[in-house]
Amino acid sequence: MRNIAVIGAGTMGNGIAHTFAQYDFKVNLIDISEAALEKGFSTISGNLDRMVAKEKISAEDKENTLKNITTYTDIPDGVKGMELVVEAATENVDLKLAIFKQLDDVCDEATILATNTSSISITKIAAVTSRPEKVIGMHFMNPVPIMKLVEVIRGYNTSDEVTEITMSLSKTLGKVPVEVNDYPGFVANRILMPMINESIEALYNGVAGVSEIDTVMKLGMAHPMGPLQLADFIGLDVCLSILEVMYNGFKNPKYAPCPLLVNMVTAGKLGVKSGEGFYEYSESKKAEKVAKMFI
């Protein structure tokens, strides 16, 4: 398996494409927006430059990585002949279902269809296809080129063979795959999102301020980043979406999103991506923080 397509050129999509291409896979990066593709390719190039500057890779490695990536704005053309398609579109269930219906229609019969969803049911996504045994979750962590973990999520009908291939493929990328079953939030976000939500509740109830809450968790619990700052990097809209999936999936009030989180998303305060969340981010500060992730 050397031919991979990635759907979506955003933060996760370009990171996934970068990682596969760096390990000499031929990658088709697909997005409906030419501007998004240009921005995604530029991000990959910039991240590779930082890795060259830190002597983690050579200049030749960078050029070979970029040569391994081809961009497309059309899904049928982009997935033709691909052995694996990794969907990394926005965390929206209707969008993902529509993409997988189309992929099922246009991909080769043997093609494995993976989703980078961080919370949505793999079984539900697989159910809109005629190949549920070939649908699996590959939940990469951000930033993808740096973070080692891949949650490999089996749907109800995912075959043993596809699971084994996905686990092996993740190891080929230098990742540590962990197999989990298909429940809302899987493992990572089932534990992480309630912590972030409770941190927002503590702020909402006036227990402490933003920097105080983050400092307690960094210095007291040895977290590299406080939960409120982490929420800003994930995207407050993404955090809200994941919490809603878990709340609707489990019908348990402990997963109900904090009203402050709901209001901030409604007001467009989404974190780093919008320039303001629990912290403020100028363009220079955003670039500096992203660069630090690649040190």
Tell me whether residue 31 is annotated as binding.
Answer: yes
Give the residue among 244, 271, 254, 259 at the shortest CA–CA distance from 194.
254
Token readout for 156 is: 């109800």
What is the C-alpha to C-alpha distance for residues 253 and 262, in angstroms, rounded to an integer?
A: 15
Tell me whether residue 14 is annotated as binding.
Answer: no
pTM over 0.85: yes
Tell me whether residue 53 is annotated as binding.
Answer: no
Q: Which ranges in the chain belong to alpha helices (H)?
A: 11-22, 34-53, 59-67, 75-79, 93-106, 122-126, 160-172, 188-204, 210-221, 227-234, 236-250, 259-266, 283-293
Token readout for 25 is: 């896979």
pLDDT score, position 1: 87
pLDDT score, position 295: 41
Tell me which residues of the chain have a pLDDT lower than 50. Answer: 291, 293-295
pLDDT score, position 294: 44
What is the C-alpha to C-alpha distance for residues 207 and 217, in angstroms, rounded to an integer?
A: 14
pLDDT score, position 282: 81
Give the catalytic positions in this structure.
118, 139, 151, 189
∠ CA 113-115-118, nearest 5°, is 165
Tell me whether residue 11 is annotated as binding.
Answer: yes
Token readout for 181 is: 């079953």
